[in-house]
Amino acid sequence: MHILTTTSASLDDLAEPVDLRQTPADVVALSFTDSDLAGLATAWKADADRLPSMRLAALRDLR
């Protein structure tokens, strides 16, 4: 037997939006771990002139 949910939530009920003050990019990478973001940044910098633009953000900052 399935029990139906009697409560609902919308985006308006969640935390306020956060402006990370980053310019737009072709690729956005989100992660909970700083080591993931650091690794992506290092790899991207090695070939930045041949790769699309990229922005990184920690998911914890987007709560």
> Which residues constitute the domain of residue 45?
23-62
Is residue 37 included in any domain, yes or no?
A: yes
Residue 61 has pLDDT above 90, yes or no: no
In 3D, which of 56, 5, 9 has the Cα closest to residue 35?
56
Tell me what the mean pLDDT of segment 6-17 comes to: 64
Q: Helix or strand or coil: residue 37?
A: helix
The confidence score (pLDDT) of residue 4 equals 66
Kindly indicate the confidence band of residue 38, based on its pLDDT and cuts at 50, 70 and 90.
very high
Is residue 6 included in any domain, yes or no?
A: no
Tell me if the pTM is above 0.85: no
Q: What's the total number of domains in the chain?
A: 1
Task: Quote the CA–CA distance of 17 and 57 in Å, as a whole number.
Answer: 14
Kindly indicate the confidence band of residue 12, based on its pLDDT and cuts at 50, 70 and 90.
low
Q: Are 20 and 59 in contact (CB under 8 A)?
A: no
Q: Are 44 and 54 in contact (CB under 8 A)?
A: yes
